[in-house]
Structure 1
Amino acid sequence: MDNITDIPNATNLELWANWYRHVHGYAAPIVCIFGVVANILNIVVLTRKNMISPTNVILTGLAVSDGLTMAVYFIYAILSHHIYVNRPTPLTHAQFVMFYAIFSVIAHSISIWLTVALALFRYIFIRCPRRGGKLCSIDRAKLTVVIVSFVTTVVCIPNAVSYQIVDQGNGSSWYVDVKKTTATEIILTRFNFWIQAMLVKLIPCFLLTILSILLVKTMKDAEKRRKKLLSKPMKGSDDPRRPSKTNRTTRMLLAVVILFLVTEIPQGILNLISGIEEDFFDNVYTPLGDLMDILALINNGINFILYCTMSKQFRDTFIKLFLKDLVMDNNRGTYHCTQVTRDTEL
């Protein structure tokens, strides 16, 4: 890779992109390793018997797609930022880059639409508490994951056919480029940008924004009902703690949704402009590619931290699975200290 600082006509954005590329080569693999491990832990915890629920089925699907995205990106980052730097790239590497360009978009798009499904399930559940269990059953959650995965893959077909492997001229170095030789290929490329911008980015972000507003409103209404229940004598079937637990879960899911919005809306806007302005992709979108990637990777790997900090059930299950011996030792120590104190006081 040539040093872009040697190019007189390089823009400030291109100069910054060249500087950040070296940082990204080390930051991205570290984030990917953490994210893959975190998503494996998510899958293990969320699939325990005590954790099975419609919401957790979708969260498991989300963890699978996020984990696969980060695993593939880890290989891509090592190859592109460390192994094949300032040296010819063989055909096998170009083929992998093409696979990565296709697979990562599909996996990440599945994550986005699963997040929409998650918000929709949650809204139906808290908006219609009596019918929510039937409308948002475990079987329907599993079916939703399958449908989202299939439809998203079909929608991403234009992206898959818009790339080509190009020989740099000597037969020893290859790279992946967007097809734009013929008028048909140019139309297909712009059509792909529009699909990526609208169906994979902006429309799901719009739906997530609406659902987030509805979730907040419904959550506030539930909190008002809970306070009314607390102010009245409790009946046999009343449990004012349940709305509070529901609100805690909803807040956690809202945090997941908001993080998606923060990372996906800018990418959607850039995709949309790339489909309108001919030179925007090369001059703006490409230099910002690594930055958008690292933001998406952080978002893909941060859910584990959110679950641990905002869900007591997830945290307790995780501790029971992976820190059981440590907790038991601490409990024995606490129990022993308590016994000594009691004997002393008596």
Structure 2
Amino acid sequence: MLMYIPQVLLFHITYTDMPISQYFSYNRVAYSLIASKITLASHNASVWLGVSLTVYRFIQTRNRHHIPRATRNIQTVAVVSIALLISVASSLPNSLTNNFEEYTLANNETIYIINAPMLANSGSRNIVDTNVLLYAIVGKLLPCILMSMFVGALVHSLLKRSRQFSFASNKRSVMIGRTNKLLYAIVALFLITELPQGTLVLMCVFISGLYENVYIPLGDFFDAIALLNCVINFALYCIMSSKFRSTFKRLCLRYLYCKSPNRSPMDHVSLR
């Protein structure tokens, strides 16, 4: 998402004295195209990694027996690998539909414009429709459904376990209640961010003119709430999981220790 900052500086902060050939120069347009592809792929990856985190947490909650570390590592690698493969597969058609073309204006100035085929273009309708359907279903709607299902099952499992251990201390009940509230908040934010956009993209396939008149003007708004959701989700994960906090601190401290010029290469061993 950091690639949005140069994008905003290049195209949304305009300069009145800049020639149009410089504004739509090859380098600027090429960066915009590459940034959009990387941003889409990374956003899809973050969405499916969020789903994989929910699935992994549900698996851990359902299993009451001790799981060996090797088995946990295999489960983690499998879930994360599946999530990344799905995100890459769903982003691949987008790289085939968008490219930039060279145009010569009446004053002989040369500009470059990103050529994004519209839904009504019959010449590339199949690949465009495939791109839109994958983005709407695999990138938006399906993660919303899976996240809601697994979080609902996870909350149900936590409530069932708390009833089975009713003799437990009030502290345990308070922790379970707080975890449930945070899970509800994560799902609510995820649905608010992804579900309307996925529904609107899916409707664009069947309703003519909706993409140009509604979806494109709302593009910046959808990007803004997606960025906000990423920031809030990170804070919620830190609040919800002590292991997440400890792992994050350990990784950051290990990185800082390794980068410190006053540390020897073996100093980071004590952080394990």
Could you say whether these structures have the same fold, taking a TM-score greater than 0.5 normalized by the shorter chain as the test?
A: yes
Matched, 1:149 2:80: no
Q: In structure 1, what residue type is equivalent to 2:10?
A: L
Mapped to 2, the partners of 1:184 and 1:308 lie a distance apart of 48
Which residue is equivalent to 1:35? none
Task: Give ranges in structure 2 of 5+ residues lacking alignment.
Answer: 254-272
Which of 195, 203, 207 is 1:277 aligned to? 207
Mapped to 1, the partners of 2:177 and 2:52 lie a distance apart of 18
Q: In structure 2, what residue type is equivalent to 1:153?
A: V
SS in 2 for 1:179: coil
TM alignment of 1:104-253, pairs within 5 A: 104-130=39-65, 137-170=72-105, 171-180=109-118, 183-230=122-169, 241=172, 251-253=181-183
Mapped to 2, the partners of 1:125 and 1:182 lie a distance apart of 48
CA contact (8 A) 2:151 2:183 kept: no
Deviation at 1:144, TM superposition (A): 2.6
Stretch of structure 1 that moved more, 104-113 or 168-177 = 168-177
Deviation at 1:131, TM superposition (A): 6.1
Mapped to 2, the partners of 1:257 and 1:193 lie a distance apart of 24
Deviation at 1:251, TM superposition (A): 5.0
Which residue is equivalent to 2:262? none
State the Cα deviation string for residues 69-106 of structure 1 (Å, max 9, x = none).
Answer: x1112222221212577743101111111112211111
CA contact (8 A) 2:56 2:79 kept: no
Deviation at 1:185, TM superposition (A): 1.0
Task: Give ranges in structure 1 of 5+ residues lacking alignment.
Answer: 1-69, 232-239, 323-346
Which residue is equivalent to 1:80? 11
Gap change, CA 1:277 and 1:94, over 3 Å in 2: same
Deviation at 1:168, TM superposition (A): 4.4
RMSD between aligned residues: 3.2
Which of 89, 108, 112 is 2:24 aligned to? 89
Q: In structure 1, what residue type is equivalent to 2:50?
A: T
Identity rate of aligned residues, in percent? Answer: 27
TM alignment of 1:282-293, pairs within 5 A: 282-293=212-223
Gap change, CA 1:115 and 1:316, over 3 Å in 2: closer
SS in 2 for 1:130: coil
Gap change, CA 1:265 and 1:316, over 3 Å in 2: same
Q: In structure 1, what residue type is equivalent to 2:162?
A: E
SS in 1 for 2:65: helix
Gap change, CA 1:257 and 1:118, over 3 Å in 2: farther
Q: In structure 1, what residue type is equivalent to 2:26?
A: L
Q: In structure 2, what residue type is equivalent to 1:177?
A: N
Normalised by the length of structure 1, the TM-score is 0.61
Structure of greater relative contact order (alpha carbons < 8 Å, 6+ residues apart): 1
Deviation at 1:143, TM superposition (A): 3.6
Deviation at 1:183, TM superposition (A): 2.3
CA contact (8 A) 1:191 1:275 kept: no
Gap change, CA 1:291 and 1:257, over 3 Å in 2: same
Mapped to 2, the partners of 1:100 and 1:110 lie a distance apart of 15
Q: In structure 1, what residue type is equivalent to 2:137?
A: M
Stretch of structure 1 that moved more, 137-146 or 177-186 = 177-186
Deviation at 1:273, TM superposition (A): 0.8
SS in 1 for 2:99: strand
CA contact (8 A) 1:248 1:311 kept: no
* Structure having the higher Rg: 1
Gap change, CA 1:252 and 1:209, over 3 Å in 2: same
State the Cα deviation string for residues 196-220 of structure 1 (Å, max 9, x = none).
Answer: 1111111111111111221221121
Q: In structure 1, what residue type is equivalent to 2:35?
A: Y
Deviation at 1:259, TM superposition (A): 1.8
Gap change, CA 1:289 and 1:135, over 3 Å in 2: farther
Gap change, CA 1:318 and 1:104, over 3 Å in 2: closer
CA contact (8 A) 1:120 1:211 kept: yes
SS in 2 for 1:104: helix
Gap change, CA 1:299 and 1:262, over 3 Å in 2: same
Gap change, CA 1:127 and 1:165, over 3 Å in 2: same
Mapped to 1, the partners of 2:68 and 2:160 lie a distance apart of 19
Gap change, CA 1:183 and 1:313, over 3 Å in 2: closer
